[in-house]
Structure 1
Amino acid sequence: MAEAVSEPPMAEAANYSAQEFLKDGSAVEIRALRPEDEAEMLAAIERTSPQSLQRRFFAMKRHFSDKERAFFMQVDFKNHVALAALVRGSDGEMIVGGGRYIVFEPGLAEMAFVVVDAFQGRGLGSLLMRHLISLARDGGLRELTAEVLPENTAMLRAFERSGFKPAARRDPQTVHLVLKLG
Structure 2
Amino acid sequence: MSASRLSLVALVPVALIAPPAHAATYLTLAQAQALMFPGETLTPAFQALNSTQVAAIRKASGVSPLNRQLKAWRAARGGWLIVDQVVGKHEFITFAVALDASGAVRSVEIMDYRESYGDQVRNPKWRAQFVGKRNGAALQLDKDIKNISGATLSCRHVTDGVKRLLATYAIVLA
Same fold, judged at TM 0.5 (above): no
TM-score range normalised by the length of the shorter chain: 0.3 to 0.5
- Which one has a larger percent strand, Structure 1 or Structure 2? 1
- Which one has a larger percent helix, Structure 1 or Structure 2? 2
Query: Max radius of gyration: which structure?
Result: 2
**Which protein has greater RCO, CA pairs closer than 8 Å, 6+ apart?**
2
TM-score for both structures, normalised by structure 2: 0.34
